[in-house]
Structure 1
Amino acid sequence: MKIYDFKGFANPARVRIAVAEKGLTDQIEFVHVDLPNGAHRTPEFFAKNPSGTVPVLELDDGTTISECTAITVYLDHVQGESTLTGRNGKERAIVHMMQRRAEAELMDALGTYFHHATPGLGAEIELYQNREWGEKNLKRAMAGMHYLNQVLSRQPYLAGESFSMVDITAFAGLGLADFLKIDVPDTLTNLQAWRARVAARPSIAASQA
């Protein structure tokens, strides 16, 4: 299998953590896509993912799968028990509900801020920017942090008792906040403590190697 990505960016980090959690590192070839120079806007890359985004998983039979959630679902079922996406119907439903919230209220909101209210990937890539929309999404992301802090006041992980892809998404989202020099408020003690626990997982270090 191949994964097309740009190491260090938030969404690629999500998939790299999932790969490490599932013990699949030796089965994956990572292919660098030079985003700042527009390698994701070429006809060759659009053939793999019409959205022109990374990461993209390419299977040995040539099938391509984009979107972090879809890629993680596939990886979670390659071998062993499905530990990241839920073990039964109820768990899967809660994981997918919380995954959508973590994406919309944190990851996507910060991404929109990055692309609209900062230089983003540069003038040649960011062909349209709306600073007001970007700033609005920063406020949404901060509200999202407060929501996740509230969730963690009653359970150890964002989808319940077990670590899941929701935690991966939120952890990568806070990494994006760091990159953007956006601090997690000190008052969000549950979120801060959860982040420290997740950071100690072996998969985090492995994903950054």
Structure 2
Amino acid sequence: MPAFTLYGFHGSTMTNRVRMTLAEGGFTDYEFVVVNLPKGEQRSKDHLERHPWGRVPVLQYPGGFTLYESQAICKYLATKYSFPLLPPQSDVEGTALFEQATSVERSYFSSPAGNIAFENFVKVRMLKLPPDEKVISDSVKSLNDFFDVAEDILSKNEYMAGKAFSLVDIYYIPVIHRLIDCGVGDLITSRKAVSAWWDRCNSRPAIKASVAAEKETLAAMLKG
């Protein structure tokens, strides 16, 4: 029996965060169950019992323990299975910087990046609806401001939370790949330090394999 079940969807950047965390930890002993978002399966009675807001991903153990919200899941898995993606608990300053970097991603990056992904990917490619160009324009401006600051941070550190690759970097990776798919990759490639950080992240074998597998699956799904 698998250690746990991960409920998610191909194309969900939040689901991909969790799967990348597991890949980085070399953990394969789990079952992945697809919740078909376009068909509304996230609003089914069974899924709402797992996630009261009807989202993905959700982690569930055979004994009943259930956890939702991608960052909470990633941190739980890294702690429970000792993935080398968190500062050691004894490193109080390192842990504080990790939490600071997590807050930065959530406060200044997540919302505008999510807006672009929704307008240019979910609406256009999955729902066949026109995007809201003003939302996209405002969000690109916000991300330009964000990456201007990130350029300075990454000119002094190799990764978002310091010298070591961590969960915080994983939080960005699927979303930035989605931004690139949406045609705004120059936000990353036009900045020397940000671009170098991005190359370091994507050169990691587990990340490279995870991204390639997801792209192949997603391409087949969108084609079908």
TM value normalised by structure 1: 0.85
Choose the corresponding residue for 1:71, options 63, 73, 81.
73
Question: What is the identity percentage for the equivalent residue pairs of Structure 1 and Structure 2?
Answer: 27
Give CA-to-partner distance per residue, 1:20-65, whole Å, 9 cap, x none: 111212x211111111222112222111111222111112212211
Aligned residue for 1:31, secondary structure, equals: strand
Which residue of structure 2 aligns with residue 94 of structure 1?
97
Aligned residue for 1:194, secondary structure, equals: helix
Aligned residue for 2:38, secondary structure, equals: helix
* Structure 1 runs (4+) greater than 6 angstroms displaced: none
**1:201 correspondence with 2:204:** yes
1:134-173 → structure 2 map (5 Å cutoff) = 135-173=137-175
Which residue of structure 2 aligns with residue 83 of structure 1?
84
Tell me, yes or no, if the aligned pair for 2:7 and 2:56 is still in contact at 8 Å. Answer: yes
1:130 is displaced (CA, Å) by: 7.0
Tell me, yes or no, if the aligned pair for 2:155 and 2:193 is still in contact at 8 Å. Answer: yes
**1:110 correspondence with 2:113:** yes
TM value normalised by structure 2: 0.80
Q: What do you get for the CA RMSD once the two structures are aligned? A: 2.4
Tell me, yes or no, if the aligned pair for 2:116 and 2:179 is still in contact at 8 Å. Answer: no
Higher percent of residues as helix:
2
Q: Which amino acid aligns with 2:159?
A: Y
Which residue of structure 2 aligns with residue 177 of structure 1?
179
Mapped to 2, the partners of 1:109 and 1:205 lie a distance apart of 25
1:160 is displaced (CA, Å) by: 0.4
Which range moved further: 141-150 or 159-168? Answer: 141-150
Aligned residue for 1:62, secondary structure, equals: coil
Q: How many residues align?
A: 204
Choose the corresponding residue for 2:55, options 53, 56, 67.
53
Tell me, yes or no, if the aligned pair for 1:17 and 1:206 is still in contact at 8 Å. Answer: no
Mapped to 2, the partners of 1:159 and 1:104 lie a distance apart of 15
1:140 is displaced (CA, Å) by: 1.6
Q: Which amino acid aligns with 1:122?
A: L
Mapped to 2, the partners of 1:29 and 1:150 lie a distance apart of 40
Tell me, yes or no, if the aligned pair for 1:6 and 1:12 is still in contact at 8 Å. Answer: yes
Aligned residue for 2:32, secondary structure, equals: strand
